[in-house]
Structures are given as structure tokens and as C-alpha cells.
Structure 1
Amino acid sequence: MFALPKGADLHVHLSGCGRGEDWVRCGEAVGMPGTRAERLEIRRPGPATAFFDEIVPTLTPWRKHPEVILSVLELYLHRALRENVGYAEILTGPFGYRTADAAVPVDYMVRRYRQILRRAQWGVRVHLLVNVARNAADVEDRLRRSAEFAARHDDLWRGVQLSGVEEGDADLVRLRDVYDGLALRFPKLGWAVHAGESSSAPNAVRTALSLPVTRIGHALGGAAYAEALRRGRVTVESSPISNVMLGYVRSWEEHPLPSLLRSGVPVCLCTDNPGVWGAQLTDEFFVAVQFLHVTWSEVVEMTVRSIEAAFCVPEEKRVRLAAHVTAIERFVMVMEQWVVGAAEPPVPVVSPFALRHLAVPQG
């Protein structure tokens, strides 16, 4: 799974990419006070409140410091490249950053993101999505401002994602007119929304399908709306590890990923907040195969879907799809050599999550 060409990681929060030791090290490099790494991580499954009410507020000084968050971006790119992720859409905007002395201008953050992402050595193509918190009191204004910003910088920011704790689907109902208006104003932007992550929002997927979105994050109840998802060609961004670690699903075996796939729903695997539990995209595929019994053809299908659902321009998508199909064919040939002992497989880099939860040995 480590060497598998994985296509794209389309749902990954930059604020959740750093592991505990990453935040500590990057923070200390800019003079921030130290802390224990475990305060910034979730190491065992538990209620989502541990993340939203404890980890997120505790992380705020680190994730809102411009140089710290940009250093975490560089670490994510290094890790994504070595596990064969070719493309990523990272949820992060230019708003709300500050140093110890002052607020950081939006133009500064735009310039710094460009400087980092234009470096040729990464080997991972990245676009960004502005992430909007559904629970913000001014969420309507934030959606408008985010869409206007992304449209002005659409070479880098390709769309808008709505995330946050779900409490029923009233927020999506209230925002329907805002979404419709913005989609008409900015037809080239991509639109995605978290929906159906929580059992407290059983109708959220149905409501999300009434919005002009082409991707839905998590959609744990999505199998009930399989026909509508298929008909609307709406892709589910599935993150089994996140769903179990935050207590939304009790075990790997109970995750609805197989039923979504076998209902014909377009699905791709994503990491969500990989640093919080020390995971990587390889682990998502391992869980899917080992515990959810996803087949090889379904694995390949998800990697292809991840590129098909990307918000990059059509010509780039066409080129990436063709290159990915070739990479999968080459991977199959090389894997056959590994099986018969004609070649040595690469040594995987095992994540902290895999060491703790998947019984994967180091080295």
C-alpha cells in the first residue's frame, strides 16, 4: 500500500496535518513556548469532543502562526511525496493568522503560500480550498468573502469547503440560497461540504445534495442516498480512520465504505486530519483492504475517482488521469516482480498511527 500510486488526497485540513512533535518543533523554531507533544494529539479512539473542545483550541496559537503553519505544510508535502500521493487539495485560507505582535495581512499569506508551493522539489501538485466554519456566527459573510477571494486567486485556491461540528442540518438549509447565488456568480470554483459525519445529523447528506456541491466529506449515511449521489455525480470523501478515531463509527468493520462503493457511489479516500493521530494516506488504504475487505479493483477505482473529483482545470485533470493510469499499470508489473522475488519492494515508512493501531512493524 505504501508504494501504491494513490492519486489525490482531496480532503486534508492543513491545521490537522501536523503531528504533536511537528507543532512543538516548528513552534520552538519561532520562539513559541514549548509543550508536550501528546497534548496536541489523539492517540486512541474517543468522543469527537476531545478533538473539537480540547485539541483544536489548544492548537490555536500554533496553527494560527504564519511560519508554523507553513512549516507544517512543508512537512505534509515531504510525507505525501514519499508515499506516492501525486496531487492534494488542502483546506486552508489566508485569513486570521497572527504573530505575537500583530495580525498578518492576507496578501502576505498569499505570497508565502505561493513561494512554498512553487518549489519544484516537492513532486506533489497542490491546490488549496478556503475552509469555512459552519458554526461561525457570520458564516454567510465568510462564505461570500471566501468565494470572492478564491475567484481572485483561482490559480492556487480552487474552491470552498464548509466544515465544523454538525448539529442537525438546519445550517445547510439556511445556507442553500447563499450557495446557489455564489455558485452562479463563481461557476469555475469547486464546492464541497462536510455532511453526515455525525449521527446527530441523519438528514445532512440529503440536505447537502440540494446544494450545488460535487463533493461531500464523510457522508456516513450516504448509502441511503446512493441513487442521488450517483445521479448527481457527487463524490464522497471518505476517511475511515478519522471516523473511528473521533467516535463517529465504533470500529473499522462497521464503517460504511464498502456499502458506498458497492452501491456505485463515487468514493475517494482522504486523510482529513492525519497529523492529529499520526496517520498517512497509506493507512487509509491499509484499513480499507485489511479490515473492510475492499478489493483491488475498488482500490484502483478510488484512486481514479480522487483525480476525477479534483477541482483542478479540465486539461490538468485529463493529463493527471492519463499519467495515473500508466502509473497503476507500471505498479502492477513491478508488484508481480516483488511477488516472485525478482525485485525488492521499497521499505515503507511506517506512521505512528500504524505502529499503535495496525500492528505494522517498523522497518
Structure 2
Amino acid sequence: MHHPTVLEHIDEDAIRALPKAEVHIHLEGTFSLLDILTLAKENEVALPGPAATLFDITTHDAFTAPAVTTGGGAGAGAAGLTGFLRFLDWQCGLVRTPAQAARVAYAFAVRQSASGIRYSDVIVNPTHWNAWRGREFDLLEAFATGFDEAEQDGLCEVRVAYSLLRSQSAEEAERIVRDILELRPRRVIALSVDGDEKVSGRTGEKFRTAFALAASGGLRRTVHAGESSGPEGVWDAVELLQAERIDHGVRSIEDPALLERLVADGISLGVCPRSNVSLGIYPSWPEHPVRRLLEAGVQVTLNTDDPAPLGSTLESDWSVAAQQFGFTYADLVGFAARSIDASFAEPETKSRLHAELAAVAEARGR
């Protein structure tokens, strides 16, 4: 990776054309404004504020007034995260029928495909979907129906990482994993955990048995860590939860020994720069450690986290990253290759995507 004197211009069309995967994105954070307005009308639910400013959660009392939130999604400082999570809870609460859930899943695949994403490990935290409490596996089946239809229509292939919430108990987590292993819900490929580390504290020990069960049962493991807390969360994810991939993990930059461990074990970080800046982990793009992580030898992928409320797309985030950090087209091809490697796709899918990526990169180089 080099630092060009004159930045290479890389337009978003060229980024979209790169076959790639996305490995850190929450289904809860991908509802378009049209999705939300349609669901609200179908369920006769009033909007919390003007439709035109719905994604500006700081303007709506329903999301900013003091209250207890269920958690999930991205992570950040208290006030911004609290309102953000309440917004996700409200929005997901609009999904009440299997047909609506399948439509959300299909729309997700459409959104991913429009960015040139061929495969996604999407994070689903059922605690947000309050109409489905006690029927979480019915919700997963409805999502699978939508993902099936999307794949049949030639859209992005999607697998699901079932995400625990940090505030759930060890017993509940273990029951969920046992149910997943017994029922084997379609398209569920991994176990995840998310929520605000700063509020919940260190939860690695609490979920150690659940993740051990998941590993022994063949589920892949990805853990949110090293975001609103420091490197200790990443250590817990690696040593206690058998994490194969870390969602965020940016605070690893503060611990050289941890960086060495991530490199030695080949554990990738699903980094989301726009989310980190928008939600206050870093004050600006230039202060984000993505380049320093790469230069330390860590396997880093670039992802969107919750693109709809953050007002972004993957190609936009990659374009900004190229401008801010001096990434070249060759660097972005590297990000695409690492995204495929870091994904939980089947080996044959990875091989096909790598071949397609190499062909696109070669054609541009001619």
C-alpha cells in the first residue's frame, strides 16, 4: 500500500463494479424511508415526526427523551446511541407479518446488490423486532423466504448472524444457541453479540458457554467489540468467545500485543469508519485508525454498519475512505478481496467471487 502524492480519482461507479462481500451490516439499519412509510401506513402507526426528517433522530422527542432502551445496532457515546437504538426499536416494531418481514429481507438484498455486493453476512438482533417476541424463529423463517426469493432473482446471496444482546442473561443466550442448533433455521450461519459495551461492561465471561456451544455445533462466531470500550473487549472476544471475526475492533490500535494476536490468528476486523465518526468514537475521518490497522498487518474490511439512518452506501463510504486515507484503486481491490475472505460464504462462492474480482481488476488495468 502506498501514499500517492496526487490522489487517484476513483468514482463510485468503479467501486460498485468490484465484486465484494459485506460482513458488518445490521438488517435493522437498512430500512429505506419508503420501507418505513409503507409499513407505518399498513399498520396505521403515526410517525414520530415529519417524514422528511425521520432519519434525523435527534429531532424527535420519542427517541431523545430519557428512557430505558433495549439496545443492539451500532455503538457509541450514551446520548447518540440511546436515541439511535430507540429509533431502531420503533422502526423494527413496524414489521408485524411474515409478508412484511420477507419484504424487508428482499429489500435488503436489493440494496446490497445495487452496491455491487454479491454476498452478505447480515446481523439480525431479534430483540429489536418486538412484534415477534416468543416467535423469533418465525421471524427468521420469514426473512429466509425473502432472501430465497432475492437469490432466485439474481440478487445478493445473504446469510444471517443471529445476534445476542449484551444485556441478555447467560441462561437465555445458551437456550437460544441450543434452539438454533436443534431447529437449524434456514440461512442462519453464525452467532453474534452486539449492544453498547460502555453500558453493559465486559460480557465475555457471561457468554462464554453460549459461544462454546455455537462453535461445537458448527456455527461461525463474530463479536462486536473494541468500539465504545477499549481493547479489553477484543481480548475477551478472542480468548473467551472464540471469535473468528470482530465487528468494529478499532480500539485494538491502542494495544500492540493485541494487534500481534489478531495478525497471528488471522482474525479480521469489520471496520465501519462512517459509523464510528457519526456516533462519536472518533471525532473525524482523518483521526480514524483504519490505515494504521492495515499497516500493522491486520486484516481489515470496510463496511457500513447501519447505512440507512447514517445516510450512506458502501460505495460512498469506500469513496470517502479513498479520499481521506489516500487509498488507490489497487487498495480498494484489496478491500474487496479481504471482504470475500472474511465472509462466512461457502468456499466455492469465495472462489467464484475472487475470480470475478480478478477479472474486473484486470480489465480496468488494461
Residue of structure 1 in register with 2:187 after alignment: 156
- Which residue is 1:350 aligned to? none
| CA distance in 1 between partners of 2:141 and 2:300 (Å) | 34
2:203 to 171, 195, 210: 171
Q: Amino acid of the residue matched to residue 39 of structure 2? A: C
Match of 1:48 in 2: 77
Change (3 A) 1:311 1:42: same
CA contact (8 A) 1:194 1:216 kept: yes
Residues 266 and 105 of structure 1, relative CA distance in 2, 3 Å threshold = same
Match of 1:135 in 2: 167
Deviation, 1:66, is 3.6
Q: Percent identity?
A: 24
- Gaps in structure 1 of 5+ consecutive residues: 337-363
2:71 is aligned to none
1:199-238 to 2 correspondences below 5 Å:
200-210=229-239, 211-223=241-253, 224=256, 225-238=258-271
Distance 2:37 2:282 in 1: 30
Q: Give the stretch that moved more between structures: 172-181 or 220-229.
A: 172-181
Q: Is contact 1:62-1:69 (8 Å) kept? A: no
For normalisation by structure 2, the TM-score amounts to: 0.79
Q: Distance in 2 between matches of 1:181 and 1:287?
A: 40
1:360 maps to none
CA deviations 1:134-191 (Å, max 9, x no partner) are 122x2452254146416743651110111110138621244334433432x21x2110
The answer for unaligned runs of 5 or more in structure 2 is: 1-11, 60-74
Report which stretch shifted further, 89-98 or 250-259: 89-98
Q: Does 1:259 align with 2:259?
A: no
Q: Structure 1 residue 16: deviation in Å? A: 1.1
Moved over 6 A (4+): none
Partner AA of 2:212 in structure 1:
D
Helix, strand or coil at the partner of 1:170: coil
Give the deviation of 1:287 after TM superposition: 1.9
Counterpart in 2 of 1:117? 147
Cα pair 1:169 1:207 within 8 Å, conserved: no
Residue pair 1:234, 1:266 contacting (<8 A) in 2 also: yes
Under a length normalisation based on structure 1, what TM-score does the superposition of the two structures give? Answer: 0.80
> Match of 1:63?
92
Check conservation: 1:26, 1:71, Cα contact below 8 A. Answer: no
Any idea what the Cα deviations from partners look like across 1:210-252, whole Å, max 9, x if unmatched? 1311100111122332211111110000100000000001100
Aligned length: 326
Q: Does 1:9 align with 2:22?
A: yes
Contact 1:2 1:84 in 2 (8 A): no
Q: Structure 1 residues 48 and 94 mapped into 2: Cα distance closer, same or farther (>3 Å)?
A: closer
Change (3 A) 1:103 1:129: closer
CA RMSD after TM alignment: 2.8
Taking a change above 3 Å as real, the CA distance of residues 96 and 238 of structure 1, as seen in their structure-2 partners, is closer
Report the counterpart of residue 346 of structure 2 in structure 1: 313
